[in-house]
Each structure stands twice: as structure tokens, then as C-alpha cells.
């Protein structure tokens, strides 16, 4: 049986070989009906485009690099899946790398994969802005959940939803609040802390305590529970869901339960937040949109198009970990 090529597909469809090639390499330049016909015929005859040959012809690898700080954090798997799905719509692949929350590893890994990819999506990088900009000089890049002047960014802004969460706790008659700040090098931690801090400013009828910085890890949240109890806070706003889950476990170790003894709010709405008992009140991050927009923005950068920072909004999800404060015996 003769091997299928772009020429045999073109001949069978009555179109040019260059159109077939563009259907795989530049699908945005081909009518959707034509691309669908090409893909259907390619599947029928068992044709797979040669990525290496296409790279020689176009100067592109068809691969995007995706750097994340911690694959074990439940925020990132659905985000990675969303990026991979979005890239697949353009016949591109993802090269995933995990820095293990290390600034030095971020630099080393980016330098190593630069020659292998057309562009980079950097999620929640820990590097200082100056080093990050220098590192990404000369490579099309998009930063996710970090605003760096001069670098295109796709951001999840949870500020409004976090203030709504604090308002809800206040309306439930909580007056003693604790903010558990995230990692000191995380942009999202700074933004979230600022939103809650601004909410608390000017309120003379509350007690407000900040604890941290604390790593976004279950064990670190669990260890922070003692500080929460010592603070006397009945309402806790944690940096993310994983930290919140750790705090709940730590409170249990100390003989307390949520929300009977204390109420807690997380952030991100990862699967853990929905499946734990009671389910976690949190801020839902638009992870699918975040991944889709990261890929869309990177493709615009690759095409030389002007891009703006894009801010997506989180939404408050009220569930089972908040309740009015329990009156305690004196």
C-alpha cells in the first residue's frame, strides 16, 4: 500500500498540497470546513504529519514549553490539562517541566528547553522580576498568575471574591479574623493578602491577625493551626485550598472541628475543596479559561500581534466550612 502524503491527500480532495500543510501547521489560515476535510481524510488514510520535517520547513517545532512550580499542588493538574487541550486545538504539543518551587531550577530548566520550543508559558514563577525578564529575553513568553512589566500576562484576580468572603464572615458575626499568607515569593500571595488587608483596614470592630508567610502545602497548613488557635481568630482566610485543608486537619489534632469551632475559607476551588467533608468554602478560579487564554495569548505573541494583560475573575463558592461563631464559655 502506498504511503499517504500531503500530496496524495491534496489530490484526493482537489486542493493544493500547501493548503493541506497549512491545515496542520497554521490552522488559523485555513477555512474550518477545509481543515475538517483534511483531518478526516488524514485519519482515513492513516497520515500523521512529520513534526521534524515541518519544523525544518516552518522554523517552528510545534511545541510549547509549560513551566509550573509544583505538580503536586492540586491547582496545577487541571490547569495543565486546559493548556494541553487548548494547544491541541492548534496541533501543538506541550513540554511540561516542574521547578519544584526553586528559583534556580526555574532558570536552569528554561535555559535547557528554550531551543526545543516555539514559546513558553510560565505559571506562577518564583524568580524576581528582573531575573525573569532577562531569562525570557528573545523567547516568546506568557506569564500566568504573575504581573511583570514588559511581559504578557494572564492573571486570575481573586480580590473581589476574597472581600466578599470576608464580608460574608462578618455578616455571620465573626469579629476575630486571621489571614494565612502564602509563600513570600508568590505574586498571588501578595495580591490575596493585600485584598484581605484592605478589607480589614478601617474596621474598628474587628481583630485582625496575619500569619505567615506559609508554603502552599498541606503539612505547612497543618502546622499553622496552633498559631490560628493562639490568635483567637474564629474566621480564617487561607492562601489556598491545600493550606486550608492542612489547617482543618491541624485544628482536628487540637480537638477542634470546622465550622463548629472556627470557620475557614480557601482559594482556587481545586477538586480537594469539593470532595472534603465538609466541603470547603473557597474562591473558584477559572482554570479552563486560564489555560485557554494562556495559549491564545502565546499564539498572538508568536504571530507578532499586540497583546494586553488579561485578568480573569474568581467567584466566591459558599459551602460547608463557614458558620456563625460559637459562643464560648467564659
Domain ranges in the chain are 6-58, 63-157+286-313, 159-285
Sheet strands (E) in 1-73 = 63-68
Percent of the chain with pLDDT strictly greater than 90: 78
- Tell me the pLDDT band of 84, cut-offs 50, 70 and 90: very high
Q: Minimal CA–CA distance to 185: which of 229, 235, 132?
A: 132
Homologous superfamily of 63-157+286-313: Response regulator (3.40.50.2300)
Query: Residue 139 contacts by C-beta under 8 Å, 6 or more apart in sequence?
Result: 114, 117, 119, 120
pLDDT at 60 over 80: no
Residue 329 has pLDDT above 50, yes or no: no
Percentage of the chain beyond pLDDT 70 is 95
Q: What is the pTM of this model?
A: 0.81
Give the model's pLDDT for residue 285: 95
Give domain 6-58's CATH superfamily: lambda repressor-like DNA-binding domains (1.10.260.40)
What is the Cα–Cα distance from 196 to 84, expressed in whole angstroms?
33
Same fold, 63-157+286-313 and 159-285: yes
- What tens digit of pLDDT does each residue of 242-269 get? 999 999 999 999 999 999 999 999 999 9
Burial string for 96-113 (b: 16+ CB within 10 Å, else e) reads: ebbbebebebbbebbeeb
Distance CA 211, CA 47 (A): 58
The answer to whether the beta carbons of residues 22 and 29 sit under 8 Å apart is: yes
| Residue 269 · residue 285 · CB < 8 Å | yes
Does the structure show a pLDDT above 60 at 53?
Answer: no
Stated length of the chain: 330
Going by pLDDT thresholds of 50, 70 and 90, the confidence category of residue 330 is very low
What are the residues facing 98 on neighbouring strands? 68
CA 160 to chain centre: 18
C-alpha cell at 26: 497554521
| The pLDDT of residue 159 is above 80 | yes
Mean pLDDT for the chain? 92
Assess whether pLDDT exceeds 50 at residue 319: yes
CB 296 within 8 Å of CB 308: no
Indicate whether 107 pLDDT > 50: yes
- Mean pLDDT along residues 189-207: 95
First CA to last CA distance, the chain: 88
Q: 209 - beta bridge partners?
A: 178
Q: Report the candidate in 7, 4, 28 with the shortest Cα–Cα distance to residue 17.
A: 7
pLDDT tier for residue 44 given thresholds of 50, 70 and 90: confident
Please state, in angstroms and rounded to a whole number, the distance separating the CA atoms of residues 66 and 113: 10
pLDDT of residue 51: 60
Residue pair 310/293 in contact by the 8 Å Cβ criterion: yes
Sign of CA pseudo-dihedral 49, 51, 56, 61: positive
pLDDT digits over 254-311, tens only? Answer: 999 999 999 999 999 999 999 999 999 999 999 999 999 999 999 999 999 999 999 9
pLDDT of residue 90: 85
State mean pLDDT over 168-186: 96
Segment among 15-29, 158-172, 299-313 with least mean pLDDT:
15-29
Interval 80-109 mean pLDDT: 93
The CATH architecture to which 159-285 belongs is 3-Layer(aba) Sandwich (3.40)
Model confidence band, residue 201 (pLDDT cutoffs 50, 70, 90): very high
What are the backbone dihedrals phi and psi of residue 4, each rounded to the nearest 5 degrees, phi first? -75, 140
DSSP state of 329: P
Q: Residue 18 — pLDDT band, cuts 50, 70, 90?
A: confident
Amino acid at each position: 500500500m502506498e504511503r499517504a502524503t500531503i500530496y496524495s491527500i491534496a489530490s484526493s480532495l482537489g486542493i493544493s498540497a500547501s493548503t493541506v500543510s497549512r491545515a496542520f501547521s497554521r490552522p488559523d489560515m485555513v477555512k474550518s470546513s477545509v481543515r475538517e476535510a483534511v483531518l478526516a481524510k488524514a485519519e482515513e488514510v492513516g497520515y500523521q504529519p512529520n513534526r521534524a520535517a515541518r519544523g525544518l520547513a516552518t522554523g517552528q517545532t510545534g511545541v510549547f514549553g509549560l513551566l509550573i512550580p509544583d505538580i503536586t499542588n492540586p491547582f496545577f493538574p487541571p490547569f495543565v490539562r486546559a493548556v494541553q487541550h487548548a494547544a491541541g486545538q492548534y496541533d501543538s504539543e506541550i513540554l511540561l517541566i516542574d521547578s519544584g518551587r526553586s528559583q534556580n531550577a526555574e532558570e536552569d530548566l528554561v535555559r535547557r528547553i528554550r531551543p526545543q520550543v516555539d514559546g513558553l508559558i510560565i505559571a506562577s514563577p518564583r524568580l524576581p522580576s528582573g531575573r525573569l525578564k532577562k531569562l525570557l529575553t528573545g523567547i516568546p513568553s506568557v506569564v500566568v498568575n504573575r504581573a511583570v512589566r514588559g511581559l504578557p500576562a494572564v492573571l486570575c484576580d481573586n480580590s473581589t471574591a476574597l472581600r466578599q468572603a470576608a464580608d460574608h464572615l462578618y455578616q455571620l458575626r465573626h469579629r476575630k479574623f486571621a489571614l494565612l499568607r502564602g509563600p513570600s515569593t508568590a505574586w498571588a500571595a501578595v495580591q490575596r493578602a493585600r485584598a484581605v488587608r484592605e478589607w480589614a483596614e478601617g474596621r474598628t470592630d474587628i481583630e485582625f491577625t496575619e500569619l505567615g508567610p506559609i508554603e502552599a502545602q498541606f503539612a505547612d497548613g497543618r502546622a499553622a493551626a496552633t498559631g490560628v488557635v493562639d490568635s483567637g481568630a474564629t474566621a480564617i482566610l487561607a492562601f489556598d485550598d491545600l493550606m486550608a485543608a492542612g489547617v482543618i486537619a491541624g485544628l482536628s489534632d487540637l480537638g477542634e472541628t470546622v465550622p463548629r469551632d472556627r470557620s475557614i475559607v480557601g482559594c482556587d476551588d481545586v477538586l480537594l475543596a469539593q470532595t472534603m467533608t465538609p466541603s470547603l468554602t473557597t474562591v473558584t478560579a477559572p482554570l479552563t479559561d486560564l489555560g485557554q487564554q494562556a495559549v491564545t495569548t502565546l499564539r498572538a505573541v508568536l504571530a507578532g500581534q499586540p497583546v494586553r494583560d488579561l485578568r480573569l475573575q474568581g467567584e466566591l463558592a459558599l459551602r460547608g466550612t463557614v458558620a456563625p461563631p460559637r459562643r464560648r464559655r467564659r
